[in-house]
Structure 1
Amino acid sequence: MSETLMLLPSAQFERIRVVRIPDDLDTNEAYRFATGIIAQAEESNADFVWEDIAEALEARGFEPLAHILGPELD
């Protein structure tokens, strides 16, 4: 069984995240849900941290994954 993953980009290299998309969502729906969840977290709390977003994503079935990225490119 293959898993569908989503990369959550960031201008700050260390803030890039990877999440597993729930099986009940296709990629377009997952994108809409994730961007909406992130926007809501940012709007409701100006001092948001990743844990706030991760908790909201997990409530909808997304699963944050540990990952190792290569070195930052200049």
Structure 2
Amino acid sequence: MMLLVVASREAEVFMKEKLMVLPSTHFEQIRVVSIPNDLDASEAFRYATGIIAQAEESEGDYSWDDIAEALEARGFIQVDVVLGPELD
């Protein structure tokens, strides 16, 4: 099961966007998604963990695309991020 971290960032137009980090043990698989405005952080966490758990139970070989599709159906949006080099 992945752990989730919720943060927020402030856009140039002074709107707050809630973000969720979907960590991974593999550096290149870390993902960031924006949280829909109608969900608070707790609801977003529960929804995302439910989607991940459902993917793990139903398919042994699920991919990020399976999870992303389910999250996008609820209004989550994948955010492009550039992460620094992996630290040993």
TM tier relative to shorter chain: over 0.9
CA RMSD in angstroms, aligned pairs only: 0.7
**Alpha-carbon separation, structure 2, partners of 1:66 and 1:46:** 27
Larger Rg: 2
Match of 1:37 among 37, 51, 65: 51
SS in 1 for 2:33: strand
More strand by share: 2
Which residues of structure 2 form unaligned runs of 5+?
Answer: 1-14
Aligned length: 74
Percentage identity across paired residues of the two chains: 69
Matches within 5 A, 1:1-74: 1-74=15-88
More helix by share: 1
The higher-RCO structure (CA 8 Å, 6+ apart) is 1
SS in 2 for 1:3: strand
**Alpha-carbon separation, structure 2, partners of 1:70 and 1:47:** 28
Runs of 4+ in 1 over 3 A off after TM superposition: none
Which residues of structure 1 form unaligned runs of 5+?
Answer: none
- TM-score with structure 1 length normalisation? 0.95
